[in-house]
Each structure stands twice: as C-alpha cells, then as structure tokens.
C-alpha cells in the first residue's frame, strides 16, 4: 500500500513550493489516476516517489508498505518494487537495450535477495515480454531508445516495467505523444500487469488513456494538492468541464 | 636565433648521445644521420609553450630530466609478464612481435610464417645498405623526430605484399623493464596495393612506472589497400610518452587509425596524415583517460594534398582528478584538393572540477569545393541519465560506469576488427575501474 501523507516539496535550489500537502492512499492491487493541468505538480510527485535529486521534502512522508522511502536512494526504491515510467524516456547511446535490461534486472534481483537470471533464462523472459509489446529483436540489440520513435520508447518503458516486475508502478504521462494504436498496445501492456499484488499510479493530462486503462479511483491535482477524489466517472466529468474550476480555487 | 639557456634535460639529451653512439645499430650513413640529428636537436632544444604546436604541452617544462638511453638487451622476461602488461589485448589472436627496452626479442615473438608479410627488426635492417632513417621536416615536430633518429635502437620493418590479406592482426609489443630509461623505437611499415592488414602497437610497462618513450611509426598505405592501425599506450603513472605517426594514404585506400591512452603520466601523440592519391578515406579516432596529474595530448595534422579524399576524426576523453586532455586537430585542404570531405570531433567527459580539457581545431582550407566541419564538447556525467538508470535499480557506481561506457563507445565502435574492438573496449573500461579509489 502506498501512503502519501501531507507531502510538501520544494525545489532544492529555490524557495518555490511545488507540492503543498498531498494526501493519497493507493491500496494494494488498485489503479489510481491523477489528472490535472500543466504545472499542477503531477510530475514532481512522480519524481519524488522515485527519488530524483533536486527536490526537498519540507514536510510529510511517503510510506510504501508501511516503510518510509524518502531517505532511500532511487535504486533502493526500485529494489523495494517502485518503478517510474518516464514521460520522456532517455537515450543511452553505446549501450545495447538488452545489456541495459539485463543490468537492471539483475541489480534488482540481487537487491531483492533473489538469484540472478542466467543469460538463456533472461533472454527467454525478455523475448516473451517483448513480443507482447511488439518490441522486435532488432530493437533489443540497438542502443537503448536511440533512434526509437515516441511510441517505441513508451513500449520500451512498459517492457522494462514488465521485466523488473515492480509492485508500485508510477506511469508519468505515458499517453503523451502516442497515437491511438500505440496507446492501445501500451494500455494492453499495462493492463496485463494489473494484479492483486501491484499498485499503480497513472499520471495523465487527458481522459483518453483512462478509456483503455480503467482506474479504480481518479484524483484531481492542481496547485500542488489533490483537490478532488472520485470514481472513474470523475475523469469523464473533467473531460466536459475542464480544469478551470480547480485552477481558480484558492488553496 | 636568440639563445635560450639550455635546460638540464636538453643538455643531457645532447650529451648522452656521445656515450651511446657506438652502441646504436646501423652503418656509416645511419651513424651520420644520427649525428646530424643530434645536432639538429641541439639547435632546436625541446619544444615549449611558445611554439604554437606545443602551447598546451610544454615539453621543456614537462621533461625535467633526461633519462639515460636504454641500449643493449634487458634480462629475461617471461611471456606471462608480457601477457599481464597487455591486459585484454593479450587474448587477441595476433602475430606477436615483442621488443623489450627497445630491443627485439625473438624468443618472445612469433616466427613469421605467414605468406604476404615480411617483418625485419629495424636494427637488423639498418645494417643493410640503402636503408636509412627518415628525417622529414615536420612543422613544430623536428626536435622530437631528431631525438628519435639519434637514439632509435629498434622497431619493426614490415612489408605487406600486394594483394595480401592478413587473416591475423600483427601486434607489436613495446615493453619497458628498466627503471628510468629512455626507450626509442621506430617502425617502418608499408602495405602494398590492395593488401589488407590490421596492425597494433602496444606500449606497456612491465615493472617501473617511470620511463621515457620516443616511439615513431611511418606507415605507407598503397593504392586500394585497407589498413587498421591501433596504438595503445599504458606506460605508467610517471612515464612520458612521445609518439609520432607519419601516415601516407594512397589512391582509393582506406586507413583507420585508433589510439587508446591510459595510465600514463604524460603522453603526446602527434600524427601527420597525408593523402598521396585521390578517393582515399582515413579515420583517426581514439579514447584517452587522464586522472591524477596525467596529461594526454592528441595532435593531428591531416593534409588533404590531393582532391576527393575523406577524413574523419573522433576523440573521446574521460578526465578525472587533475587530469588534463589536449586535442589539436589541424586539417589542411590544399588549393587543388577539391571535393575534400573532413569532419572532426573531440569530446571530453569531466569527472572532477579540477580536470581540464583544451581543444583547438584548425582548418586551413585553400580549395573552394569542400565540406569540412569540426566540433568539440566538454560535459559532466548527465544527472538525468544517471537518475533514469538508478530508477531502474542500477546502483550509482554501475550507472556511472555504463554512462562512461556509453560515452566512449562511439569512438571504440570505429574499430572494425571485432576482436580488437572488444579488447580495446574491455581494456579501457577495465582501466577506468582500476582508477576507482
């Protein structure tokens, strides 16, 4: 279970508060969506969960399965099951995708106290997952994300997620830059990973993605706080009314 | 010429010659060339920062003491010791020819039984009539060549015959055992028309981290020939390596040079490449690592003397501690050399605040129908990429190593010979890991 309690975050180098008291609980096995306008703090929340540098938590806490993760390094969090699918996946020239996947998978397995996979085991596993996402062998041999289209990069994020088998997946604007077909493939990949042991947080600007990945709950975030929580129908309501009502409200 | 007071090293370099001259190989003509060269050196002295080509690598200041020249054979050296010094290169399936302290060692070298290649130790070749030592007047570089001519003890004279395609690379090993000596070597290589060869020079230290090398390689690439020429310098934290390459590339030939330098106190590699025939392609690339107080200078002079040739250079440096990298890349396009195509890039990855990278590209273009470009970058490890990898469970150290690997890969990927490429990549990455404290 993810519990975010009264989380206040500012940028490390300037006194600019971005998150101003976020409260959020995602029980085991549930998928929640956070929707909100640009600049509402959605991506910051994703980064702070994953442990990126450059932010200072001034108040509050993030508990994952009852344990605070705020002091943990990003790789320790990953070992605890936290995964962030990036809005803009980065390119890593000179490092083959398979090499990267294997390094990541084995690092996580090792930290989780599990046995590292042998090369044949690993290849079999990755190829099976890759096939589901339409990731070709040729792509696996290429340097990570180099020369990949936007859709290919997003599919690669989902592939990494399925290989690392996280228990908390945060997907930051995974729908951005995707056409309907690519979104369908990505959504299928995400839906396949839904399960009673896995919590997910979808961050999105548009309702569209939620037609394909139906959330258990929808939260509206604006101005650094969660202002409204409701069932999946809330997303449709937002689609009609827009964020204007939330942006205007004073905190 | 204004007289400048000679430094201790300059005096010793000139004076030591008399003591060793009669022990150096070669007939009378060679002896005369040597003696004339030491005269040239005496007049020039060591290059210093007021000489444009040595602006960032003040040799007069760096070379405080001239070490005594190594002459004569060192004691027994085991093949295992050579293997250890070669690191990942040791496993490469290659025709190995070994020189220890500048002297050919047949017992450590493979007997040449391959058709199409002839290898003679330079010391032996110099005894024959008609074999001399090149003494070209290279701008800004005459003093270094003069010292080489004066003191050279041995090296490999290699002839690859017309159309020969060598299945295995030739690995020339220059190992130093003697503590604190000057080792001077020269290779004279010619690859005849349509031949294919991969040649590697490895300059390594067996024991002492201290020493001075003056290593020169002349290589002539015949019409339509394809040559890969790699050089590895792993000479020791207190060693000083002065390297010179003189490359002549013939019509429609392909020359691919690669230089990897690490764990060496001071390195200056100067390469002069001239096209002697049209439609030729050349690539000189490399990777250099400097940490502590190490200094690696790569200086290139690419001369498009004839039309329609292509040149590519890509150097990648990883600089840590107070390490310093220097890149000087000059591309000359002569008035008639239309349709010349030159591209150059030098990039440094800075791992510390105190590291320094000086990059000086120079284009001298006298023809109008040419495509020439150059670039240089200097950057720290990308924090966003580090976070991306760490968010996938990869620890900081491994993520850093992968990023550095990613940075240098673009250069090492230029090496076409698979075994050599993998050995060079492993050697560089291994060296980076050794450097961790």
Phi/psi for B326 (5° steps) reads -130, 135
Alpha-carbon span B88 to A232, nearest angstrom: 59
The CA-atom distances, in angstroms, between A72 and each of A19, A53, A64, B155, B206 are: 20, 11, 11, 57, 45
Strand partners of residue A195: A198
**A50, A95, A111: residue with CB nearest B391:** A50
Q: Looking at residue B2, what is its pLDDT?
A: 53
In a domain, B289, yes or no: yes
Instruction: Evaluate whether residue B417 is within a structural domain.
Output: no
Q: In Å, what is the CA distance from B4 to each residue of B12, B13, B46, B48, B145?
A: 16, 16, 11, 12, 21
| Residue among A93, A94, A164 minimizing CB distance to B392 | A164
Judged by CB atoms closer than 8 Å, whether chains meet at B398 and A103 is answered as yes
- Looking at residue B130, its pLDDT comes to 67
Give the residue from B411, B268, B247 showing the smallest Cα distance to B345: B411
Lookup: tokens for B133: 């030592």
User: In order of start, what are the domains of chain A with their CATH numbers?
Assistant: 2-248 (3.40.50.300)
With contact defined as beta carbons under 8 Å apart, do A139 and A97 qualify? Answer: yes
pLDDT digits (tens, 9 = 90+) for B15-30: 999 999 999 999 889 9
Structural domain includes residue B19: yes
Asked if A107 and B395 come within 8 Å (Cβ–Cβ), the reply is: yes
Share the mean pLDDT of chain A.
Answer: 93
pLDDT tens-digit map of A155-187: 999 999 999 999 999 999 998 888 888 899 889
Q: List, as one string, the DSSP characters of B350-411.
A: E-SSS-EEEEEEEEEE--SS-EEEEEEEEEE--HHHHHHHHTTT--HHHHHHHHHHHHHHHH
Range of the domain at B348: 8-380
Sort out which chain A residues have CB atoms less than 8 A from B408's CB and list them.
Answer: 94
Average pLDDT over residues A142-153: 93
Run of H or E including B144: helix B142-151
Q: Compute and round to an integer the Cα radius of gyration of chain A.
A: 18
Q: Which helix (H) or strand (E) holds A42?
A: helix A42-50
Smallest CA–CA distance from A73 into chain B, residue: B390
Give Dmax (Cα) for chain B: 70
Q: Which residues pair with B198 in a beta bridge?
A: B228
- For B384, name the nearest residue in chain A, comparing CA atoms only: A90
A75 contacts in chain B (CB < 8 Å): 390-396, 399
What value of ipTM does the predicted structure carry? 0.95
What residue has token string 């510390």?
A: B352
pLDDT at B76 over 70: yes
Q: Which residues pair with B216 in a beta bridge?
A: B186, B244
Asked, for residue B355, whether it belongs to a domain, the answer is: yes
Judge whether B404 lies within some domain.
no
The per-residue pLDDT for range A69-127, each reduced to its tens digit, is 999 999 999 999 999 999 999 999 889 999 999 999 999 999 999 988 899 999 999 99
Which residue in B233, B199, B253 sits closest to B420, CA to CA?
B199
> A105 to chain B: which residues are within 8 Å by CB?
393
Q: Do B259 and B229 touch, CB atoms closer than 8 A?
A: no
Q: Which residue has the tokens 């108040």?
A: A59
Both tokens assigned to B60: 């007069």
Q: Give the chain B residue nearest A108 (alpha carbons).
A: B393
> CA nearest B387 in A: which residue?
A52
B288–chain A nearest CA distance, Å: 17
Is the CB of B393 less than 8 angstroms away from the CB of A53? no
Domain count, chain B: 1
Residue B437 pLDDT more than 50?
Answer: no
In a domain, B113, yes or no: yes
For chain A, strand residue ranges (E) read 2-11, 17-26, 31-35, 55-64, 67-68, 82-85, 92-96, 143-144, 168-172, 199-204, 217-222, 225-230
**Which whole number is the average pLDDT over A32-40?**
92
Contacts of A173 (CB under 8 A, 6+ apart): A42, A43, A87, A203, A204, A205
Within-domain flag for B392: no
pLDDT at B436 over 90: no
* C-alpha of B388 from chain center: 37
**Does B430 map to a domain?**
no
């Amino acid at each position: 279970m993810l519990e975010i309690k009264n989380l206040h975050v500012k940028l490390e180098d300037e006194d600019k508060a971005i998150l101003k008291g976020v409260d959020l609980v995602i029980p085991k096995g549930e998928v929640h969506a956070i929707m909100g306008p640009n600049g509402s703090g959605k991506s910051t929340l994703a980064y702070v969960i994953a442990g990126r540098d450059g932010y200072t938590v001034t108040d509050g806490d993030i508990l994952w399965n009852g344990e605070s993760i705020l002091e943990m390094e990003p790789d320790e969090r990953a070992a605890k099951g936290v995964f962030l699918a990036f809005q803009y996946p980065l390119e890593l020239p000179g490092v083959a995708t398979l090499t990267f996947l294997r390094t990541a998978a084995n690092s996580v397995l090792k930290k989780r106290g599990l046995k590292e996979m042998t090369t044949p085991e690993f290849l079999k596993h990755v190829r099976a997952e890759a096939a589901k996402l339409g990731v070709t062998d040729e792509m696996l041999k290429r340097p990570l994300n180099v020369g990949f289209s936007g859709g290919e990069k997003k599919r690669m994020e989902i592939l990494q997620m399925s290989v690392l088998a996280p228990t908390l997946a945060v997907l930051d604007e995974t729908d951005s830059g995707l056409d309907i077909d690519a979104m369908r493939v990505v959504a299928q990949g995400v839906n396949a990973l839904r399960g009673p042991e896995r919590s997910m947080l979808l961050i999105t600007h548009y309702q569209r993605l939620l037609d394909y990945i139906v959330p258990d709950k929808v939260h509206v975030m604006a101005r650094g706080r969660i202002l409204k929580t409701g069932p999946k129908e809330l997303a449709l309501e937002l689609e009609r009314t827009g964020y204007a009502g939330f942006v205007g409200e004073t905190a | 010429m204004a007289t400048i007071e000679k430094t201790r090293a300059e005096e010793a370099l000139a004076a030591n010659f008399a003591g060793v001259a009669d022990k150096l190989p070669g007939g009378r003509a060679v002896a005369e060339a040597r003696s004339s060269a030491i005269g040239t050196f005496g007049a020039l002295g060591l290059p210093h920062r007021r000489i444009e080509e040595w602006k960032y690598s003040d040799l007069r200041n760096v070379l405080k003491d001239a070490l005594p020249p190594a002459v004569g054979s060192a004691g027994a050296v085991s093949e295992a010791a050579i293997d250890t010094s070669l690191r990942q290169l040791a496993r490469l399936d290659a025709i190995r020819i070994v020189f220890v302290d500048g002297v050919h060692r047949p017992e450590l070298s493979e007997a040449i039984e391959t058709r199409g290649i002839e290898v003679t130790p330079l010391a032996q070749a110099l005894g024959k009539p008609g074999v001399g030592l090149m003494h070209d007047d290279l701008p800004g570089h005459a003093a270094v060549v003069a010292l080489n001519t004066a003191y050279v003890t041995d090296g490999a004279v290699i002839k690859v015959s017309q159309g020969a395609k060598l299945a295995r690379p030739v690995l020339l090993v220059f190992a130093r055992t003697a503590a604190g000596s000057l080792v001077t070597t020269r290779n004279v290589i010619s690859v005849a028309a349509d031949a294919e060869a991969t040649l590697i020079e490895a300059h390594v230290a067996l024991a002492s981290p201290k020493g001075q090398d003056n290593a020169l390689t002349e290589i002539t690439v015949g019409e339509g020939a394809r040559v890969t020429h790699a050089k590895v310098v792993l000479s020791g934290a207190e060693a000083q390596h002065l390297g010179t390459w003189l490359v002549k590339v013939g019509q429609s030939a392909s020359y691919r040079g690669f230089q990897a330098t690490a764990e060496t106190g001071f390195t200056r590699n100067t390469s002069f490449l001239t096209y002697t025939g049209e439609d030729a392609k050349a690539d000189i690339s490399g990777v250099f690592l400097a940490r502590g107080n190490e200094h690696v200078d790569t200086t290139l002079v690419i001369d498009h003397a004839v039309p329609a040739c292509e040149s590519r250079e890509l150097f990648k440096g990883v600089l840590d501690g107070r390490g310093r990298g220097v890149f000087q890349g000059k591309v000359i396009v002569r008035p008639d050399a239309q349709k010349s195509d030159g591209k150059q890039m030098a990039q440094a990855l800075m791992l510390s605040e105190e590291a320094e990278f000086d990059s000086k590209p120079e284009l001298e273009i006298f023809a109008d129908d040419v495509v020439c470009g150059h670039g240089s970058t200097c950057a720290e490890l990308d924090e966003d990429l580090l976070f991306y990898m760490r968010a996938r469970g990869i620890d900081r150290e491994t993520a850093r190593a992968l990023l550095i690997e990613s940075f240098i890969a673009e250069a090492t990927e230029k090496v076409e010979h698979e075994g050599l490429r993998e050995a060079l990549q492993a050697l560089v990455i291994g060296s980076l890991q050794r450097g961790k404290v």
